[in-house]
Amino acid sequence: MQPDEVLTVVRELQARNLQVWIDGGWGVDALFGEVTRRHDDVDLVVELKELPEVVGCLSCLDFSVSEDRSPVRVVLRSPDGRQVDLHPVTFAEDGMGWQIRASPD
């Protein structure tokens, strides 16, 4: 995915008051403030309870579910090859986000 495509996805979700956190390679690049390599997808951490709304929102950008391993992971793809990997978490009282079935380390 290109930087402008990532921004379009994030902005669309934010416009609907859906919180997401950029993870993976794009998350690293965001911290560096530059694109360090080519990215096939964007990894987004989302709140598990908002997963259906996030998937529905991304359908308006022509994404559809291509792999559903919820509640662990959901992959969406568009006909033109863009890909979004959703990583749902549930937040504990201390603010820590926990992914179901993730190992404690």
pLDDT digits (tens, 9 = 90+) for 35-80: 999 999 999 999 999 999 999 999 999 999 999 999 999 999 999 9
pLDDT grade, residue 19 (50/70/90)? very high
d(CA 79, CA 74): 17
Domains of the chain and CATH, by start: 3-98 (3.30.460.40)
Query: Between the CA of residue 6 and those of 28, 32, 94, 100, 103, what are the distances in Å?
Result: 14, 16, 29, 25, 28
Q: Identify which has the larger pLDDT, 105 or 94.
A: 94
pLDDT at 105: 53
- pTM beyond 0.85: the answer is yes
**DSSP string covering the chain:** --HHHHHHHHHHHHHTT--EEEEHHHHHHHHHTS--S--S-EEEEEEGGGHHHHHHHHHTTT-EEEEEETTTEEEEE-TTS-EEEEEEEEE-TTS-EE-TT----
pLDDT at 94: 92
Query: Between the CA of residue 14 and those of 7, 10, 60, what are the distances in Å?
Result: 10, 6, 14
pLDDT at 100: 83
